[in-house]
């Protein structure tokens, strides 16, 4: 069995998918989003605190079975699909036990192994960074081709998707870029939700501790009013 390199575990997650969820933060991410609040998960070679087989992780999840009865498990990160084989093994085990699984991904990886892992999960939480591929590259270091490939795969296979979109003042909060994203998403009937994630500055200290320059120094958190406006544009055609 594959060994999962796992950064951390959260036994009572309430914001990463439906219901109360056990959240698994996988180590490693190929992107470098300007607003990332988990830079400690970036390095895929870093030996994370948990080195578990899929079955060992399932044993851990079982301890919380009664709490997550109406929720499930979310594989997040970092980028969980960097360890697609492990995610697929774990999702298959959960499926056999009737435990709901969600994969929280940027869509940066759309290899056959990653798409197979997606097939075995019940829900995809897709963090779309921008509709425009150049804007996406500026924000993350990579265009959005793979994210759109993954989204098309979900459409073709009928996999439910929740879109999450980080809205950053001066970067992704213009009405035009939000409207372009809304129009793009309109083409995918498998999308059940579109969530705005307001940019915040809580990771600044973490960057300082890691000795990494914080790229968005001086950018203020998104105001509640701007978050409401972004939400109304992103969901405009669905309200
Ligand atoms: S995809 Fe997520 S973990 Fe990776 S750099 Fe972006 S925000 Fe950070």
On the question of pLDDT at 176 being above 80, the answer is: yes
Indicate the Cα dihedral angle 196, 167, 238, 127, nearest 10°.
-70
Asked whether 29 lines ligand 1 (CB < 6 A), one says yes
**Mean pLDDT, residues 166-193 taken together:** 97
Asked whether 27 lines ligand 1 (CB < 6 A), one says no
* Full-model pTM: 0.96
Asked whether 118 lines ligand 1 (CB < 6 A), one says no
Helix H or strand E encompassing 38: none
**Mean pLDDT, residues 71-98 taken together:** 98
**Mean pLDDT, residues 23-27 taken together:** 98
User: How close is the Cα of 66 to the center of ligand 1, in Å?
Assistant: 31
**Number of Cβ atoms within 10 Å of the Cβ of 187:** 10
Q: How confident is the model at residue 1 (pLDDT cuts 50, 70, 90)?
A: confident
Q: How confident is the model at residue 238 (pLDDT cuts 50, 70, 90)?
A: low
Mean of pLDDT over the chain: 96
On the question of pLDDT at 58 being above 90, the answer is: yes
Asked whether 41 lines ligand 1 (CB < 6 A), one says yes
- Candidates 3.40.120.10, 3.40.430.10, 3.40.50.1980, 3.20.20.70; CATH matching 3-238: 3.20.20.70
Instruction: Find, among 130, 138, 225, 111, the residue nearest to 180 by Cα.
Output: 130
Indicate the Cα dihedral angle 30, 36, 133, 175, nearest 10°.
170
- pLDDT computed for residue 239 by the predictor: 54
Instruction: Looking at the CA of residue 30, tell me the nearest atom of ligand 1.
Output: 4
User: How close is the Cα of 33 to the center of ligand 1, in Å?
Assistant: 5
- pLDDT computed for residue 90 by the predictor: 98
Which tokens go with 182?
């809304």
**Mean pLDDT, residues 71-100 taken together:** 98
What is the tens place of the pLDDT at every residue in 123-146? 999 999 999 999 999 999 999 999
Q: Please give, one letter per residue, the 3-state secondary structure of 149-181.
A: HHHHHHHHHCCCEEEEEEECCCCCCCHHHHHHH
Helices (H), 32-132: 54-62, 84-97, 112-120
What is the tens place of the pLDDT at every residue in 105-120? 999 999 999 999 999 9
- pLDDT computed for residue 47 by the predictor: 86
**Mean pLDDT, residues 214-220 taken together:** 95
- pLDDT computed for residue 115 by the predictor: 98
Instruction: Looking at the CA of residue 140, tell me the nearest atom of ligand 1.
Output: 6
Instruction: Find, among 231, 227, 226, 222, the residue nearest to 201 by Cα.
Output: 222
The CA distance from 81 to 117, in Å, is 8
Q: How confident is the model at residue 104 (pLDDT cuts 50, 70, 90)?
A: very high
- pLDDT computed for residue 26 by the predictor: 98
DSSP 121: S
Ligand 1 atom 6, closest CA: 33
């Amino acid at each position: 069995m594959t060994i999962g390199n796992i950064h951390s575990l959260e036994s009572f997650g309430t914001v990463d998918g439906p219901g109360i969820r056990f959240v698994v933060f996988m180590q490693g991410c190929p992107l470098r989003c300007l607003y990332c609040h988990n830079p400690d998960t970036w390095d895929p070679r870093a030996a994370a605190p948990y080195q578990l087989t899929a079955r060992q992780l399932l044993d851990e999840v079982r301890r919380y079975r009664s709490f997550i009865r109406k929720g499930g498990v979310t594989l997040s990160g970092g980028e969980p699909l960097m360890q697609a084989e492990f995610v697929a093994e774990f999702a298959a085990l959960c499926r056999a036990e009737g435990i709901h699984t969600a994969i929280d991904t940027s869509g940066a990886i759309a290899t056959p192994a990653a798409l197979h892992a997606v097939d075995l999960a019940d829900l995809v939480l897709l963090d779309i960074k921008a509709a425009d591929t150049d804007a996406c590259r500026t924000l993350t270091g990579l265009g959005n081709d793979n994210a759109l490939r993954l989204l098309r795969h979900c459409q073709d296979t009928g996999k439910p998707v929740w879109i999450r979109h980080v809205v950053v003042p001066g970067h992704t909060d213009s009405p035009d870029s939000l409207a372009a994203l809304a129009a793009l998403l309109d083409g995918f009937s498998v999308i059940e939700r579109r969530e705005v994630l307001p940019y915040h500055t809580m990771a600044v200290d973490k960057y300082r501790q890691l000795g990494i320059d914080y790229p968005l120094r001086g950018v203020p958190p998104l105001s509640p009013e701007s978050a409401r406006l972004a939400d109304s544009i992103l969901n405009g055609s669905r309200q």
